[in-house]
A and B are shown apart, each in its own frame.
Chain A
Amino acid sequence: MASNINTKNISDTKLTVKEYKTDAHNDWCPGCGDFGILNAIHQAMAELQLAPWRVVTCSGVGCSSKTPHFVNTYGIHTLHGRVLPFALGAKMANPELQVLAVGGDGDGYGIGAGHFVHAGRRNVDIAYLVFNNEVYGLTKGQASPTLKRGEQPKSLPSPNTSDGVNPLAMALSSGFTFIARTYAFAGAHLKNMIIQAMEHKGMALVDILQPCPTYNNLHDKQYFSTPIEIDGQKQQRWFDIAEQGYDGVVKDPNNAEEVNQKRSQAFEMAYHPGPRIPVGVLYKIDVPVYYDRFSENAPILKEHTPASLPVADAKGLATTDLSEAYSHLAV
């Protein structure tokens, strides 16, 4: 089937992390969480041995949306808030490609929030990584949709007046079929979440908490890495929910009771009261992907993709036979 084509490197020579890097000029601030995520993307791709030319990396606009230029795959750096329509269009027109979408929290949960909701409904087979640092870095640190009400990073002239959205709960209610959170400098955990998201067959969100060293002094690297004292014990700020026995994976998608139970626990986890921050896979379910829903009605799209369907002969003559359509119109 068209949507099951292998996007992996099948040659004998193993691709190394280096081969997923580019020499494009990187202008992120020193200490930016983007570096941690970029490294993890390179590592995840190498671990999956993805054939770089079979991957499309899309992004919106913002600091993090420069990422495609630093990844050696086909890269599409688009418009502010519009990463998902591009990613969806790419995957629908050629489901034989692996499509990775990246962007910031302002890009994805603010100006692009409408697309976010509808991407969830459709379950297109895409991994979407959101670099969530609570500020609009490239425009000098205005509040992003995830910044909580009353918070005032140093770039804001007064405390934030809007409530922050909960991206995990938003993804859950929109129908994302893989929802995870991790942290930009969580190393192996981050890489692991990206791999799982890319391997998941469906719409996957990885919300990645990320320090902005220039504008967000509230949730900087120190905030995330300094242990906090809870009940007299020093504990790491973020904790892996899997280690505490949390299992977000729906085993039987047809079991309504199980689905409801898994959704409820994911919702509860999304609203974890803190001060510790849960990371890991909150929810995962396997349901038919969007392309397969279409090809059910159009079997020819199981053999071909919209991008590969032959439409002309060797001389260029258009070969689509319209006689069936004409038969309903001709008198």
Chain B
Amino acid sequence: MATGTQEKSKVQVNDFSWMIGGPQGTGVDSSATLFAKACIVAGLWIFGKREYHSNIKGDHSYFQIRVSDHEVKSHLDPVHLLTTYEDSTAQIHAHEVIPGGAIIYDPTVTHPENLKLNKDVTLVPLDYAAVLRQCAEEIGQPFSKLVIMKNTVSVAASFALLGLGMPEIEEGLKTIFTGKKEKLIPLNVTAAKIAHEAISKEIIDKFPYKLKPIKGTPKRLVLTGNQAVALGKLKAGCRFQTYYPITPASDESVYLEGMPEYGMLVMQCEDEIASVLQAISGAIMGARSSTSTSGPGFSLMAEGLGWAGMNEVPVVVVNYQRGGPATGLPTRHEQADLFFSIHFAHGEFPRIVLTPGDHSEYFYDAFESFNIADQFQTPVILLCDKNIGNNTQSIPMFDESKLIINRGKIATDADIKKLDGGNGSFKRFSLDTKNGVSTRSLPGQKGGIYWMSGDEHSEVGHIDESSALRQVMHAKRMKKLEAAAKEIPSEMKFALHGDKNADITLVSWGSPKGPILDALPTLQKAGINVNFLQVRMAWPFPSDEVTAILNKAKTVVGIEMNFTGQMCDLIRRETGIEIKNRILKWNGRPISETEIVDGVTDVIKNKKQRVELTGGL
């Protein structure tokens, strides 16, 4: 595992951390996409971390890509190669390049003597204008039209240093320039070749980090968490999606809007209140319905979701957490909505909160959340975050063979004839149920007429404030939570990763899963015998399972992206087990594998109880 330090002479293959930066809107994302795709073409695996400001153009943004010979789910703190095409990125990030690493810079704008450099960092000048001018001459096009290709140039030069050749770049370009843009490929190939050759052999030989293609790596998906959720929804049969634009959630809806052929009606609403209510209404009509948002929008949805709880509507809401409260850190990462998600809205009603932790789980949990919603006829919250939502990873293709759709108790016309007793009013909220779930009819069904009300209501749905009715109807709804706790399979609730009998158990939820899993081998090597309890369902809380696991551990360490340690507090409340050791981070930047290793070491070896992580720019 890469820890950053490394002997000069030793070559490190396929274990690499690359960074590119620049003002927003100048092609940072394009460069990173090309770099990532070309690595994947080479059979390698990537994790890409995107950091950006709440700004359209001009503010500094950067992309960090980790490359490995196996699936990686997190970034590393050390940067092995920093590629820049303007000065600000060099100024901001130069000190993150570790000894032995290198910086590609444009000598016409960046002067290395002004940079904060570690020792033994190789300086790689690359005159972008000269490369593009040569390219312009070769293909006979005006230089001004080619400036945009500095992205390709930056990637090609990086590949030259890494020992990867033109074939991967060409294939990478083919995955990006498709359809009408195909004609741009030869142009970019020419620029890439010139840039590739512009790096001297002497410098290449000196640079110890190399990437070597791996043959026979199966086809993989390269996608963001937003896309993974979108695909899970499509697969689940969700055909009604509503949203109001918000970072970091709307990429999911916009992605879905771009695929009308699936027949999903995606509706941009006037606000998040309308978004959640329209989704709820769509769900009542029988369409699997959903909305996606982030903290501020989720706050606005609270009242509506309380209504859905009261009226037993199966609706799925995705909350991509970002830094809060208020507008907070709109484009940054945090996990501080856990308590809010299990408590939003006034009054009591059952809600189910899933906390997927990586790209694959985003897909499978998005799929399963609709089954759970239908099965228990109540809101399901998919508590995601910006770190996975916006970050790109290469992952194995999804296994769709076991994806079964379960619509729960929906009345057939025959059921209705049997159930309504011929009096014309269907007991939608029938109290005659073991697990609290009653059979629902769908508007349009003859004989299925019923009413809904935010007021307490009778079995057919009319307002009924009587104490006797309230007593049993409220209990019927709440009973569904017990049923969910029993009936949802344990693999949806938690996962114990690593050695079952380890002395030390790390506890986390959501996206820290990635860096924790990546860090486990390093910790084991360092003699820290550790496993990892990932809580995958926050509500109803899997108390028995968590208690059993934590009681086995000698030491428990909580790891979360918030100030207080909300999961640790929830565990105390639900199990009585107090987790004193907490590794916490709230600066908006995701936890790296490096930080997990250092943080856990700090707790175990230095007996530090509260470790506050501060990594990332």
Contacts and interface: CB of A to CB of B under 8 A. Distances in A.
Interface in B216-247: 219-223, 227, 231, 234-237, 239-240, 242
Given A306-B239, A307-B282, A318-B237, A97 B443 contact: yes
B285 interface: yes
A25 B466 CA distance: 13
Nearest to A58: B281
B223 A77 contact: no
Contact of B263 (A61, A86, A304, A322): A304
Contacts of B282: 89-90, 92-93, 306-307
Nearest to A89: B281
A331 B449 contact: no
Contacts of B461: 75
B397 interface: yes
Contacts of A307: 239-240, 282, 285-287, 442, 444
Interface in B54-91: none
A325 B231 contact: yes
A52 interface: yes
Contacts, number: 222
Contact of B219 (A76, A325, A331): A331
Interface stretch (B24-32, B181-189, B190-198, B264-272): B264-272
Interface in B197-229: 219-223, 227
B94 interface: no
Contacts of A68: 451
Interface string A191-210: 00000000000000000000
Contact of B277 (A72, A78, A300, A326): A78
Contacts of B287: 93-94, 305-307, 309
A330 B218 CA distance: 10
Interface string B389-401: 0000010011010
A312 B405 contact: yes
B443 A89 contact: no
Interface in A75-98: 75-79, 82, 84-90, 92-94, 96-97
B455 interface: yes
A115 interface: yes
Contacts of A84: 274
Contacts of B235: 318, 320, 322
B404 to A, nearest CB: 5
Interface in B288-319: 288-289, 303-304, 307
A306 B242 CA distance: 13
Nearest to A331: B40
Given A92-B282, A118-B274, A320 B223 contact: no
A97 B445 CA distance: 10
A54 interface: yes
A24 B462 contact: yes
Given A86-B277, A331-B219, A331-B394, A92 B451 contact: no
B405 A93 contact: no
B167 interface: no
A171 to B, nearest CB: 16
B451 A77 contact: yes
B239 A92 contact: no
A193 B234 CA distance: 41
Contact of B221 (A56, A306, A318, A330): A330
B373 to A, nearest CB: 14
A76 B405 contact: no
B447 interface: yes
Contact of A330 (B219, B237, B451): B219
A82 B301 CA distance: 12
Contacts of A114: 270-271, 274
B41 interface: yes
A297 interface: yes
A183 B261 CA distance: 46
Contact of B239 (A66, A74, A309, A315): A309
B156 interface: no
Contacts of B273: 82, 85
Contact of A301 (B263, B286, B400, B451): B263
B454 A77 contact: yes
B274 A115 contact: yes
Contacts of B227: 329
Nearest to B265: A306
B177 interface: no
Interface string B572-590: 0000000000000000000
Given A311-B405, A331-B394, A69 B219 contact: no
B270 A117 contact: yes
A294 interface: yes
Interface in A285-331: 294, 297-298, 300-301, 304-309, 311-312, 315-318, 320, 322, 324-326, 328-331
B367 interface: yes
Interface string A10-34: 0000000000001011000000000
A53 B444 contact: yes
Contacts of A93: 239-240, 265, 281-283, 285-287, 289
Smallest CB-CB A-B distances: 4 pairs: A89-B281, A311-B237, A89-B278, A93-B282
28 contacts: A53-B443, A53-B444, A74-B443, A75-B461, A77-B463, A79-B303, A82-B277, A82-B304, A85-B273, A89-B277, A92-B267, A93-B281, A93-B286, A94-B287, A94-B444, A114-B271, A114-B274, A115-B270, A294-B260, A298-B261, A306-B285, A306-B289, A315-B404, A316-B406, A322-B235, A324-B259, A324-B261, A331-B220
Interface of B: 37, 40-41, 175, 178, 219-223, 227, 231, 234-237, 239-240, 242, 259-265, 267, 269-271, 273-274, 277-289, 303-304, 307, 367, 394, 397-398, 400, 403-406, 424-425, 442-455, 461-463
